[in-house]
A and B are shown apart, each in its own frame.
Chain A
Amino acid sequence: MFMGYSLGDLGSILAMQGFAGLVLFSVFVLMALGLAIIFGQMGVINMAHGEFMILGAYVTFLCSRLFAAYLPGAFALYFFLAIILAFCASGLLGMAVEWALIRHLYKRPLDTLLATWGLSLILQQVYRSIFGAREVGVELPGWMMGSTHLTEQIEIPINGLIVMVLTTLITLAVYLLIFRAGWGRQVRAVTQNRAMASAVGIDTERVDRLTYGLGCGIAGIAGSAFTMIGSTSPTAGQLYIVDTFLVVVFGGAQSLIGTIASAFTISQARSTMEFFLSGSMAQVLVLLSVVGILMLRPQGLFVLKVRR
């Protein structure tokens, strides 16, 4: 498969595919961060995570339309407002779902999987009724389009760069929130030992609800980022959910570093191979090797000791 490329060509192919992989990696990380927080802390498998992401994407889409119609002067800046709104919309919906549905199922993790799958079907149908079944694309402001040339052969799209910067910022914020803030200390306490945390006076129900909301909100931001690399449709979230779960499981469910590392490995492997093989075969090979590695090391790459 390497036939017919010179060494320099190969280098720039690797660099550009590597960058494409980085953009995919960014969306994966944003999706997987939320999922890992929810799965790691509450043991809840959120099959509707993709739909929370798509909610963020639709909010971004609405924002771009509204700005184009009423505030064309500020169109260049709509994206930042869209991110905040997407976070709030998905986060609030997540908290509502936790209150109405998830909190009744904490002792039955397999059932949360089925219930959230039902939720995802409902959300998909709601999106389809409101926005139509056709894909919608978001119009980007001018300064986000185009690409920069690093060397003659390597060019890098600007919107990809923005997605990456965004991901870095969000990841940092999550890190600070979980590992430096007082609230994060409560979250970690609940993760490590729910009964003890509750005994020392932490309101575990409130922590659960906020954590679920935070996870879903990050998915909403992922949706905002997603609009730049793909078009939004009611079922687009479902395409990502299995990949994202594999990312989380592969990294070790309780470890944020593990999640980031495995998202990096999987997305890089996939986009590099996609250039040489067909897209579907690349996906099959990556998924197969992930499943294979998980069979050898079921607890994931990075493990945190947790008392159950």
Chain B
Amino acid sequence: MTESSFSRKDMIAVLIFAAFILIVLPLALEPFRLNLVGKYLTYGFVGLGLVLCWGDAGILSLGQGIFFGLGGYCMAMFLKLEASTPAATKIQSTPGIPDFMDWNQLTALPWFWRPFHSLAFTIAAVPLVPALLAFVIGLAMFKRRVGGTYFAIITQAIAAILTILIIGQQGYTGGVNGITDLRTLLGWDIRTDHAKLVLYFISGGLLIACLLLAQLVRRSKLGRILVAMREREDRVRFSGYDVANFKIFVFCAAAALAGIGGAMFTLQVGFMSPSFVGIVPSIELVIFTAVGGRTSLLGALYGTLLVNWAKTTFSEDLPQLWLLAMGALFIAVVVAFPNGLAGLVQENVAPLLARLRPRLRPVPSATVDAPKQGAVR
């Protein structure tokens, strides 16, 4: 972290966010609400990835739910295996395997479940399995210069495939109910209020660490190349950069971040199901980011918290209005505010602050420029 990669203004903004989620919210909210916020924070990981991938590099992935789900399923498999000890499952016809496998007449643990007995393997798999899939998809697509709308449609199709596969292969994946009834992590009960509080702080801390990491990427030369690719891909290519490799990298990074989010989601909420994998959740994840601001990391995080808070409030009181409001929000954000909340803040609040505190001049930022409308692909 050198002086050049982080301006003072950025640090202050990150500190404010950290104070908000780690001090203000835990003091202000009752445990139930805080647990909900903990759930929203796990979506924030996906938001960070989308800012890098979509906001900076201009690659719209409509399949972030795939990676969120894969990370979540990795964690859920570990927890499920821990919950299915032979002692706890002795009423099954095959003790020692997860209950849904027993219901589906499986008599042995499938091979791909075996490594998930180990926590170290699971922790490694949470970012790596999504990143590996992203690598394969990216290699096949970007090396052949498939991009833009085609890429979006294909990621969407893959999300659909994965959902159908998970629901269809009930014996291996728990089917439409997902992997439920998760109890302990290395003997530590994750269902108590206290455990949820601890997990909330772990999520928050991890999120801030990832935020700093993403910030580091954006402020480096790599970040500038990503933005350059979004604006004029041909020129970057003619300058001698292998555009495909950078795209693959940023897509993998976004996938790994989404995987971490998914794993924290499983821990926080206590189950994982295909309803977080498919097309609809994937697009919702994109819209959280769009509302907050696709070119601002902090904007994406605030946007995620805000939209989810609104969703919960609306669905409690006026469920039929929620879809209408969400649809209108989509359209309004896309048509009128392409840079989301962060754009509004930058245009209106930042000059105000600058006038109030003349010593704190706005630092010219290279990577958070709004995308020029004509050049976005």
Chain A residues at the B interface, C-beta cutoff of 8 Å: 43, 45, 101, 104-105, 107-111, 113-115, 117-122, 124-126, 128-129, 238, 242, 245-246, 249, 278, 280-281, 283-284, 287-288, 290-291, 294-295, 298
- Which residues of chain B (362-376) have a CB below 8 Å from chain A? 373-374, 376
Complex Cα gap A236–B149 (Å) = 24
Assuming the A-B contacts A108-B373, A118-B331, A122-B323, are A242 and B168 also in contact, with contact meaning beta carbons closer than 8 angstroms in the complex?
no
Partner of B152, one of A45, A122, A295: A45
With both beta carbons as reference points, the residue of chain B lying nearest to A112 in the complex is identified as B334
Chain B, Cβ-Cβ closest to A242: B160
**Across the interface, do B376 and A110 meet the contact criterion of CB distance under 8 Å?**
yes
- Identify A125's interface contact among B146, B153, B320, B333, CB under 8 A: B320
Q: A110-B152, A114-B287, A128-B320 are in contact. Are A287 and B157 (CB under 8 A)?
A: yes
B329 touches A118 (CB 8 A): yes
The contact sample of 26 A-B pairs, CB cut-off 8 A, is: A45-B149, A104-B335, A109-B149, A110-B377, A111-B334, A111-B338, A114-B290, A114-B333, A115-B334, A118-B330, A118-B334, A119-B327, A122-B327, A125-B323, A125-B324, A238-B280, A242-B157, A249-B154, A280-B164, A280-B167, A291-B158, A294-B154, A295-B141, A295-B144, A298-B141, A298-B144
CB proximity of B182 to chain A, nearest CB, Å: 25
Q: Enumerate chain A residues within 8 angstroms of B13, measured Cβ to Cβ.
A: none
A278 and B141 CA atoms in complex are apart in Å by 30
Smallest CB-CB separation from A281: which chain B residue?
B168
For residue B161, CB closer than 8 A to chain A, the reply is yes
Q: Are B164 and A283 in contact (CB under 8 A)?
A: yes
Known: A109-B377, A111-B376. A298 touches B330 (CB 8 A): no
Q: Is the CB of B330 within 8 A of A291?
A: no
Q: B153 to A249, Cβ gap below 8 A?
A: yes
Chain B residues within an 8 Å CB radius of A118: 326-331, 334
Is the Cβ of B161 less than 8 Å from the Cβ of A287?
yes
Q: List residues 45-71 of chain B with CB under 8 A from any CB of chain A.
A: 60, 62
Partner of A249, one of B150, B334, B377: B150
Q: In the complex, which residue of chain A has the Cβ closest to the Cβ of B280?
A: A238
User: Which residues of B have CB within 8 Å of A121?
Assistant: 323-324, 326-327, 330
Interface code B118-154, partner A: CB below 8 Å = 1, 0 otherwise?
0000000000000000000000110011101110111
**Contact pick for B140, options A129, A246, A283, A295, CB 8 Å:** A295
Q: Which residues of B contact A281 (CB under 8 A)?
A: 168
Q: Residues of A contacting B328 with CB < 8 Å?
A: 118, 122
Q: In the assembled complex, how far is the CB of residue A265 from the closest CB belonging to chain B, in whole angstroms?
A: 15
* Complexed CA–CA distance, A138 and B89 (Å): 49
Looking across the interface, which residue of chain A has its beta carbon closest to that of B160?
A: A242
B contact residues, range: 35 or more
Besides A45-B149, A114-B286, A126-B324, 10 more A-B contacts (Cβ < 8 Å) are A114-B330, A114-B334, A115-B335, A118-B328, A118-B329, A125-B323, A242-B153, A245-B156, A280-B165, A284-B164
- Which B residue's beta carbon lies closest to that of A235? B280
Query: Judging by beta carbons under 8 Å apart, are A110 and B326 in contact?
Result: no
A124 neighbours in B (Cβ, 8 Å): 323
Bound Cα distance A278, B175 (Å): 14
* Residues in chain A near residue B154, CB distance under 8 A: 249, 291, 294
Which among A45, A105, A114, A290 has the greatest number of chain B C-beta atoms within 10 A? A114
B161, B165, B167, B286: most-surrounded residue (chain A CB, <10 A): B161
Q: Hey, what's the 0/1 contact readout for B312-350 against A, CB within 8 Å counting as 1?
A: 000000001001101111110111001000000000000
Determine whether the beta carbon of A242 is less than 8 Å from that of B164.
no
B residues within 8 A CB of A238? 280
Most buried by A among B148, B160, B286, B320: B160
CB atoms of A110 and B168 under 8 A apart = no
CB contacts (< 8 Å) of B320 on chain A: these are: 125, 128-129
From B62, B153, B287, contact of A246 by CB (8 A): B153
- Note all chain A residues with C-beta closer than 8 A to B145: 298
Across the interface, name the chain B residue whose C-beta is closest to A297.
B144
**B279 partner residues in chain A, CB cutoff 8 A:** 242
A124-B322 Cα distance, complex, nearest whole Å: 12
CB pair A122 B324 closer than 8 Å? yes
Contact of B335 among A101, A126, A249, A283 (CB under 8 A): A101
- Does the CB pair B327–A298 fall under 8 Å? no
How long is the Cα–Cα vector from A101 to B156 in the complex, in angstroms?
Answer: 23
The distance from the CB of A173 to the nearest CB of chain B, in whole angstroms, is 27
Taking the nearest CB of chain B, how far is it from the CB of A69, in angstroms?
Answer: 28
> Across the interface, do B168 and A284 meet the contact criterion of CB distance under 8 Å?
yes
> A113 vs B146: C-alpha distance in the bound complex, in angstroms?
17
Residue of A nearest to B290 (CB): A114
B283 interface residue (CB < 8 Å to A): yes
Task: Write the nearest CB–CB distance from B294 to chain A, whole angstroms.
Answer: 10
A278 to B320, CA, bound (A): 35
B334 touches A107 (CB 8 A): no
CB pair A298–B146 under 8 Å, yes or no, is: yes
Chain A CB within 10 A, most for which of B153, B164, B286, B377 = B153
Tell me, in angstroms, the Cα distance from A21 to B288 when the chains sit together. Answer: 39
Question: B153 touching A45 by the CB < 8 A rule?
Answer: yes
Asked if residues A105 and B153 are in contact (CB atoms below 8 Å), the reply is no
Q: Which residue of A119, A120, A245 has the most chain B CB atoms within 10 A of its CB atom?
A: A245
Closest residue on chain A to residue B321 by CB atoms: A125
